[in-house]
């Protein structure tokens, strides 16, 4: 049996940068540390940081109760008003927002101030998208599929600016842009899906296309991992979404000639290696 592991699997630049910084703070800081939401969507990492004293705020309401210390803005980013609230409370802010997300903030702030309606291709409930919305002067429109886009186009718009959540499905974004092109909007369309996401999705699709079984590793709340699962499932019906080795059942890949493995941007290399090792050991046992 062949085992193929995606080269792009695991922490992306933005996530690694954020996680490394919070671990550094946990080791060096002499004051309380909290993060606005989990620093990444991976329970293993978040639990380890909590053991080191890093508190996770479940919502902005809890920020009101913070009296002192360091507030970490995670890689997903936040809206402008959150920065203002942290400053007003006199708290120290450590901003580890992904640079690709920060770029989108600057785009929508500029274009919305010039009167363009902002259209975000993404998941409206995801913290990254909520943060992007928080930089739009007149609010924003969020769509994740054709139905949502048709609803947007059914309303009056003249000038629009289109961006995408950094982890949005690249193929879906292309499809939505093609539909938009049929309308005579004065439009600015920017593909803001990060390069790492595109490469990860394309590699996962290619591996899944030649695999009997595909394993996608990542946290259940991880948007980019969910997108990987959707893409792989289209190519390989025997695609399984697992969080850690505990979720892996050898029956998933018994009698398979090729098993593919990929992982979301919030998945530590340790977990990927554990899964890979388990599958390889199973191969030796079978032989």
- In angstroms, the CA 95 to CA 224 distance is 21
Break the chain into its structural domains and give their ranges. Answer: 2-10+196-286, 13-97, 100-193
Q: Could you report the per-residue pLDDT of 265-277, keeping only the tens digit for each?
A: 989 999 999 999 9
Q: In the 8-state DSSP scheme, what is residue 142?
A: E
The pLDDT assigned to 204 comes to 97
Residue 128 annotated to the active site: yes
By the 8 A CB rule, do 217 and 271 touch?
Answer: yes
Domain with residues 13-97, CATH architecture? 3-Layer(aba) Sandwich (3.40)
* CA count, 13 A, side-chain hemisphere, 229: 16
The pLDDT assigned to 164 comes to 98
- In angstroms, the CA 75 to CA 96 distance is 5
Q: Could you report the per-residue pLDDT of 212-263, keeping only the tens digit for each?
A: 999 999 988 888 899 999 999 999 999 999 999 999 888 887 778 899 999 9
Residue 287 in this model has a pLDDT that exceeds 50 = no
Phi, psi of 68 (to 5 degrees): -155, 175
More confident position, 55 or 197: 55
Three-class DSSP category at 214 = strand
Residue carrying structure tokens 């997300």: 101
Q: Could you report the per-residue pLDDT of 68-109, keeping only the tens digit for each?
A: 999 999 999 999 999 999 999 999 999 999 999 999 999 999
Q: Tell me if 13-97 shares its fold with 100-193.
A: no
| Residue 220 CA to its chain's centroid (Å) | 11
The pLDDT assigned to 283 comes to 59
CA 217 to each of CA 43, 48, 101: distance values in angstroms, whole numbers, following the listed order: 12, 19, 23
Written out in words, the top-level CATH class of the domain with range 2-10+196-286 is alpha beta
Q: Could you report the per-residue pLDDT of 209-226, keeping only the tens digit for each?
A: 999 999 999 988 888 899
pLDDT band of residue 189 (cuts 50, 70, 90) is very high
CA proximity to 193, closest of 101, 117, 96, 73: 101
The packing angle between helices 170-180 and 146-153, to 10°, is: 30
Q: Which of 2, 128, 235, 286 is catalytic?
A: 128
**Fold (topology level) of 100-193:** Cobalt-precorrin-4 Transmethylase; domain 1 (3.40.1010)
What's the pTM value of the predicted model, to 2 decimals?
A: 0.84
**Which residues in the chain belong to E strands, given as ranges?**
2-5, 33-36, 54-57, 70-73, 92-95, 117-121, 141-143, 159-164, 186-189, 213-217, 239-242, 258-263
The pLDDT assigned to 48 comes to 94
Averaged pLDDT score across all residues of the chain: 92
Q: Which two tokens stand for residue 85?
A: 């609230």
The pLDDT assigned to 106 comes to 98
């Amino acid at each position: 049996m062949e085992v193929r592991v995606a080269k792009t699997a695991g922490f992306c630049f933005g996530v690694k940068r954020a996680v490394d910084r919070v671990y550094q703070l946990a080791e060096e800081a002499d004051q309380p540390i909290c993060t606005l939401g989990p620093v990444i969507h991976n329970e293993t990492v978040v639990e380890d940081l909590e053991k080191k004293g890093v508190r996770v705020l479940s919502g902005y309401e809890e920020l009101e109760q913070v009296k002192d210390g360091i507030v970490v803005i995670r890689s997903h980013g936040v809206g402008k008003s959150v920065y203002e609230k942290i400053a007003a409370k006199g708290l120290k802010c450590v901003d580890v927002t992904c640079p690709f997300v920060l770029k989108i903030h600057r785009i929508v702030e500029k274009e919305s101030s010039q009167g363009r309606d902002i259209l975000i291709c993404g998941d409206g409930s995801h913290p990254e998208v909520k943060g992007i919305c928080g930089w739009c002067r007149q609010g924003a429109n969020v769509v994740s599929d054709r139905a949502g886009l048709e609803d947007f186009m059914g309303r009056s718009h003249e000038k629009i600016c289109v961006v995408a959540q950094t982890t949005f499905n690249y193929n879906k974004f292309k499809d939505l842009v093609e539909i938009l092109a049929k309308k005579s909007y004065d439009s600015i369309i920017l593909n803001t899906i990060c390069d790492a996401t595109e490469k990860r999705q394309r590699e996962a699709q290619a591996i899944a296309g030649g695999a009997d079984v595909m394993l996608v590793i990542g946290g259940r709340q991880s948007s980019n991992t969910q997108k990987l699962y959707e893409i792989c499932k289209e190519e390989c019906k025997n695609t399984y979404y697992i969080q850690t080795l505990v979720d892996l059942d050898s029956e998933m890949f018994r009698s398979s000639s090729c098993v593919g493995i990929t992982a979301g941007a919030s998945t530590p290399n340790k977990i990927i290696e554990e899964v890979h090792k388990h599958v390889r050991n199973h191969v030796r046992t079978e032989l």
